Structure 1
Amino acid sequence: MIAGLFLTIFLLSWALTWGVRHYALSKSLMDIPNERSSHSVPTPRGGGVAIVIGFLSALPVLGGLGLMDRSTLFALSGSGLLVAVLGFADDHGHIAARWRLLGHFAAAVWALFWLGGLAPIALFNGSLDLGWLGHALAAVYLVWMLNLYNFMDGIDGLASAEALCACLGSALIYGLVGQIEPVWGVLALSVAVGGFLCWNYPPARIFMGDAGSGFLGIALGILSLDAASRSPALLWSWAILLGAFVVDATWTLCRRLLNGEKVYQAHRSHAYQYASRQFKSHKAVTLAVVGLNLFWLLPWALVVALGLVPGLVGLAVAYMPLLWLAARFKAGTREVPSIP
């Protein structure tokens, strides 16, 4: 039954991506390369809608089978749908940043209502309950997650590959620590992303678009908060698994703020974008991030989840090379125009 469900999600996502690609080509919904782009060929956008439909359609089935609790189902469905609709509308015509941000916070509040807010945080040998401050920080966290995922969706296959690594890594960790129920949600998201990745793997034949990237960001954020409510250490594990995106996006944003730049304007100054230009390959950078996830971040996330290393210590050690890479590739610095 479960295998059949996952196969259906994968095929649905694959087929919907194919359909959206043809729709985008017919309506000229294209990403046209410009000076802020990391691609050089006009490419259809909006394929992430397939991930949204594939995953959200699986949630009632998981709920009906008793494999996902009601609160997580409603948190993911309501928030994910709102963010996806906003992103889809923005893909078709610009929506002012203030209205997008308002919608993002509304989605975050909806999710936190169903999740019961932020669970106590594991801190060394104890836990810390931040109360209402924690709930407010959790809302900011969800909004930042969906926006940083949008920022990091800039080269072929990267956002899809990161979601796959985070979801499959968390599924492995859940199994090893005996948390079986949340496994099904992350696996369902994995196969939905997998169907889309068949079309988005370098060289991409369609881009995810804001509907898909924002949806993935808030979905991963909700899944991480749900995990924290089951075992406080798992929030640290999720933060480690998502480290490649968290560090690059946060470092770049802070650096641009310090430079006095308008952070809401499009740019291509993330570390991964500098790296893709330096190595002249999207595939090389995407595969490098996958390797970093599998061979560095996943082991640290696992030892934290197993209680072998305190969460804060594990996070700090896991992030050290990521911070070095952000500095090495000059994330957030203004790009120097090339002289013809």
Structure 2
Amino acid sequence: MSDAIVASFASMTLTVLFAFFIALGVVRAAIAYAHRRGMLDQPGQRRSHKIPTPRGGGIGIIVSVLLTVPACLLYLRPAWHFYVIITLMLAVALVAWIGWWDDHSSLSALPRFGVQILAAALFSAALLIDGLSWFWLPLLILAGAWSINLHNFMDGIDGLLAQQGIFVAAGLAVLAWLAGQHALGGASACLAAACLGFWCYNRSPARIFMGDVGSGSIGLLVFALTAMLWQVNWLWLWPALILSSAFVTDATLTLLARMLGGRRWYTAHREHLYQWIVRRGHTHTVGAGWYVGWNLLVAAPLAVLAWEIPGMGLLTCIVTYAMAAAIWLMAKRHMLRRDRYKARHVHT
């Protein structure tokens, strides 16, 4: 291993440690702030928690990311263009700002979605300046907006989104480092460390919830880091997408099921798979454990396969999502059958 690589790894490790401790400290302060401001999520029919819990802890992730990710992208090698770094941080700040506002006083969907589209468009445009076809711009904007919202949808039980952020960002960091993209690897590792710092207070039983300030921003960052890998080499897109398969599948199929069922898909609900698991009497830890199992036993090995055999990347990605969809359908049908069985016994 060359001296340059050793120096890069040492710098990255130090920055990642800073990211963890910054998030840890800011989240601790956010708990006190939320109590003072009355930012408490109350239990309800469409919520999975049973006691009032502070929200807005995702601000710790945002502060950590804004302070550490630019340093990695700028000073590690190969460094990214300044305009890409600036637009990425601006996009994160925009999504975090509208989420922080929503955490304090609920906003309608239109202004939130407008800011999300603007943030995704700014970053996507900056990424395409380096010579990629502008044909990709609407697709990137759509992908960015969906990633922001699906991560928001999946933030519903203790520890789930934080642990997913750790897994996906750590996986992206490994992929980038193996590809020699040390700057991108360091940035991804900082996001993983920031999510870990938040998870320490969000694991079950949660002392604070992430809030929209964090969930939407993680969605944007997962999209951005994945898109940056794709921009360097399009073959790296497939293992990156495999890492996100659990959340993308659950959020997408749940949304489609609600739309096809004629329900108001844009309203709050408890129909994601993780919510069904908790509704069946399992703990939040067990619910989150289902996703850990998928990530470690299926997503990680298949992402390695897609990385090691680039020509099989697309096929491996398709197989991964097909498996995830099949498991999602089987699990939902099993739980619905149990509901009907219980209902018949209650009436008899």
Question: TM-score, structure 2 length as denominator?
Answer: 0.88
Letter in 2 for 1:76: L
Gaps of 5+ in 2: 1-10
Q: Is the 8 A contact 1:48 1:196 kept in 2?
A: yes
Letter in 2 for 1:8: F
Q: Give the CA deviation at 1:178.
A: 3.6
- Secondary structure in 2 aligned to 1:330? helix
Q: Which one has the largest radius of gyration?
A: 2
Alignment deviations for residues 57-105 of structure 1 (CA, whole Å, 9 cap, x no partner): 1134224524541244223201100000000001111211111111111
Q: What CA distance in whole angstroms lies between the structure 1 residues aligned with 2:326 and 2:59?
A: 35
Gaps of 5+ in 1: 121-130
- Aligned partner of 1:257 among 247, 256, 259: 259
- Which position in structure 2 is the counterpart of 1:76? 88
**What pairs up with 1:269-308 in 2 under 5 angstroms?**
269-308=271-310
Alignment RMSD (CA, Å): 2.3
Q: What CA distance in whole angstroms lies between the structure 2 residues aligned with 1:317 and 1:21?
A: 42
The share of aligned pairs that are identical, in percent, is 32
- Aligned partner of 1:49 among 45, 59, 64: 59
Q: Is the 8 A contact 1:112 1:118 kept in 2?
A: no
Q: What CA distance in whole angstroms lies between the structure 2 residues aligned with 1:295 and 1:226?
A: 26
**What pairs up with 1:80-229 in 2 under 5 angstroms?**
80-116=92-128, 131-229=133-231
- Aligned partner of 1:5 among 10, 15, 18: 15
Q: What CA distance in whole angstroms lies between the structure 1 residues aligned with 2:84 and 2:289?
A: 31
Q: Closer, same or farther in 2 for the Cα pair 1:61/1:312, shift >3 Å?
A: closer
Letter in 1 for 2:28: W
- Which position in structure 2 is the counterpart of 1:124? none
Q: What CA distance in whole angstroms lies between the structure 1 residues aligned with 2:299 and 2:84?
A: 26
Q: What CA distance in whole angstroms lies between the structure 1 residues aligned with 2:184 and 2:72?
A: 11
Letter in 1 for 2:69: L
Aligned length: 329
- Secondary structure in 2 aligned to 1:94? coil
Higher mean alpha-carbon deviation, 244-253 vs 297-306, is at 297-306
- Secondary structure in 1 aligned to 2:190? helix
Q: Closer, same or farther in 2 for the Cα pair 1:119/1:148, shift >3 Å?
A: farther
Q: Is the 8 A contact 1:119 1:228 kept in 2?
A: no
Q: What CA distance in whole angstroms lies between the structure 2 residues aligned with 1:34 and 1:166?
A: 30
- Secondary structure in 2 aligned to 1:329? helix
Alignment deviations for residues 91-121 of structure 1 (CA, whole Å, 9 cap, x no partner): 111211111111111001110121117997x
Q: Is the 8 A contact 2:73 2:187 kept in 1?
A: no
- Which position in structure 1 is the counterpart of 2:320? 318
Question: TM-score, structure 1 length as denominator?
Answer: 0.90
Q: Is the 8 A contact 2:74 2:183 kept in 1?
A: no
Higher mean alpha-carbon deviation, 232-241 vs 250-259, is at 232-241
- Which position in structure 2 is the counterpart of 1:126? none
- Which position in structure 2 is the counterpart of 1:30? 40
